Amino acid sequence: MNDTPIQPPRAERREHSFTRHGITVSDPYAWLRDPGYPKVEDEQVLDYLKAENAFFEAQMAPHKPLIDKLFSEMRARIKEDDSSVPQKDGEWLYWVEFEEGGEYSKYYRKPVKGGETQCYLDVPRLAEGHEYFSLNDVSVSMNGKLLAYSVDNNGSERYTVHIVDLETGEKLPDVIEDTNSALIWAAGDTMLVYGRANENWRVDNVRVHRIGSDPAEDVEIYHEDQLGFTVHTGLSADEKWLLMAAGDNETSEVRIIPASDPFAAPVLIKPRKKGVEYDVDIRDEELFVLTNDEHVNFRLATAPLADPGNWTTLIAGSDDFYLTGFELFRDFYVTHGRLAGLDQVQLRYYDDPSRVEPIAFPEEAYSAGTGNNPEFAVEKIRVVYQSPVTPGTVYDYHVAEQRLEVLKVQEVPSGHDPSLYAVERITVTARDGAEIPVSILYRKDRDEMNGGPAGPLHLYSYGAYGYAVAPGFSTTRFSLVDRGMAYAIAHIRGGDDLGREWYLAGKLERRTNTFNDFVDAARGLIERGYTSEGKISASGGSAGGELMGAVINQAPELWGAIVAHVPFVDVLNTMLDDTLPLTPGEWQEWGNPIESKEDFETILAYSPYDHVEAKPYPPMLVTAGLNDPRVTYWEPAKWVAKLRELKTDDNVLLLKTNMGAGHAGKTGRFEGLKETAEEVGFILWQLGIEN
């Protein structure tokens, strides 16, 4: 399907293999990993990536008018001079604003009692001159006088912390390098608590910086020695305690320290136990604990601070209700969960455990939760809501009146009429009998637009780490739907859409359930007349990119176009390399092929790169980030090289590597939107919908 005479680049095949557990595996494109990584300076590697980028540009060039049109219509759906709803935190109201044409937002505040508005963080100015710019955390001190923020200018996810005096606007000389954590003010705003990324990009520590001192003198107050565990910090709801949580994908352990004295001896809540996860928060002298120690769908327990490991059940675990989180306020608390796969937000009361007030939402498929609620003593809470046809809506929920007040509805400047669309939620029976929910959005006049039923459809999913893909609102999605395509989300195993067991059924030795669910969802949509074979486009990123690699190996005939963003497709090699940033912490998700022959064989049985073979494959667009520490650039590069060598079709195969970005691609509102327009343009091109 090439529209230009340029030939695709061919990476040299260099025979290479390795043997482990008595099994020999061929890896002919292993040379695409620069031995100097994280520096990538090998000229042969760079020449190949640049050649692929040139081929991408040449192939997409004839479709630039379509891509420009898509970008224009996507941009027209964005309110350019937009702002968030101000939220009170102490003596100030805080919000962010985008200016007309601005790639990045500015941070503002003004006194609650009246006074001048202050722009306390000018992100567009900070981003000037940088191809890539990412802001990790923005933290104003308790007294409102100091600001700490952390930035990354290349996509490596190593952030540099800067501190600003908000009264004078001057930057302090304190500059902290190589962080990747929250920034927590402590000890009366005289200290900043953070975590530093080690040489393998892992945060295995908690450190304290005294404001005005040399960061080289910062003190480590906690160090995690277990390989694969990372450390996260936070404050308790009442802001009296510093929370330090260490864990991996299945086990956790929490310590607390008085926020007034970060150098005090940490109090361990309960020792780690493999497979047991718990989160904590504190109100007065009572500890609240969310844990899966007794039920897979978690329970909420309490304990006295004096005896933090003595947990008493407050809300028992349920087979039906999946308890995903909680928030403490002075007079009440909020629980989050899912019932039949749909978000639930419930208010509960300390003095009456039987009193439960669910916040009711109007649609059958939606995404809902609490928003930014920084204060402990409140009479109303911020709530956010959206659905496939309902733009993002911000509410205040008035607790005493049990009433939602609309504060803001996402504006679509070019227009949006929900009545034009239909949303359905169906179930498809997978090959092992599991019932897979699928959310579907389409125009009511879709049949007329594409000449009848069984038209083109886009199928999306992720399917890993217990991440649920909620049926929310996306303005870019309408560039497909308004051209007669249906848009479907398959709520497959590996995500926790239907509870924790739904997640567990898609990991480790049951990983292939995720791939089978996606393929079976596609076939079910065909059987029910929503689409037909070869008219389905599909996309996924990172672990969702692994999903794309697995389903094209299993059922290449189903797909009319595939987009795989930073795809995790060289699973076996990555899980065998414990020097990579994420690998040790990922063994609980995928298995440890270093130690276990069984895990080695399980991963080898599905790893997409290892299963590319001589057969037809669908048209594909693959992306990578040269500085990506999560899915390293060579995974998609090796995969594409092997596909080019072995595939027997003439379908287009494109690899685009962002040479100055990381896992998330380009930054900025509109630069990122350009890449989305390229993705949608590729899909429409391959499905023959170029209008």
Q: What is the pLDDT of residues 377-407, one digit of tens each?
A: 999 999 999 999 999 999 999 999 999 999 9
Contact present, 237 and 333 (Cβ < 8 Å): no
What are 337's strand-pairing partners?
A: 323, 344
Measured CA to CA, the distance from residue 350 to residue 329 in angstroms comes to 10
CA gap 33, 482 in Å, rounded: 42
When pLDDT is averaged across residues 654-671 and rounded to a whole number, the result is 78
**pLDDT value for 2:** 45
pLDDT band at 664 (very low <50, low <70, confident <90, very high): low
| CATH number, span 93-217 | 2.130.10.120
DSSP 534-548: T-EEEEEETHHHHHH
The catalytic residues are 542, 628, 663
628, 662 in Cβ contact below 8 A?
yes
From the number of C-beta atoms within 10 Å of its C-beta (0-12, 13-18, 19+), residue 241 rates as buried
Q: What's 444's DSSP letter?
A: T
The full DSSP string for 118-158 is: EEEEEHHHHHTT-S--EEEEEEE-TTSSEEEEEEESSSS--
| pLDDT digit string, tens, across residues 427-473 | 999 999 999 999 999 999 999 988 777 999 999 999 999 999 999 99
Contact by Cβ (8 Å): 344, 57: no
CA distance 639 to 654: 11
> ω into residue 581 within 30 of 0, thus cis?
no
Summarize the confidence of residues 55-78 as an average pLDDT. 97
Predicted pLDDT at 132: 87
The pTM for the full model equals 0.93
User: What's the CA gap between 493 and 552, in Å, rounded?
Assistant: 18
pLDDT at 6: 80
| Predicted pLDDT of residue 157 | 85
Within 10 Å of residue 457's Cβ, how many Cβ atoms?
26
Quickly state the pLDDT bin for 356 (edges 50, 70, 90).
very high
Tokens for 319, please give them: 């087979």
The residues spanned by each domain of the chain are 93-217
- What distance in Å separates the CA atoms of residue 536 and residue 557, rounded to the nearest whole number? 10
* Host H or E run for residue 635: helix 634-646
**DSSP code of residue 277:** -
Give the pLDDT mean for 621-640. Answer: 93
CB 107 within 8 A of CB 119: yes
Q: Average pLDDT, stretch 552-558?
A: 98
Res. 118: pLDDT tops 80? yes
Q: Determine the Cα–Cα distance for residues 586 and 5; give it in Å rounded to an integer.
A: 43
Per-residue pLDDT averaged across 536-549, rounded?
A: 97
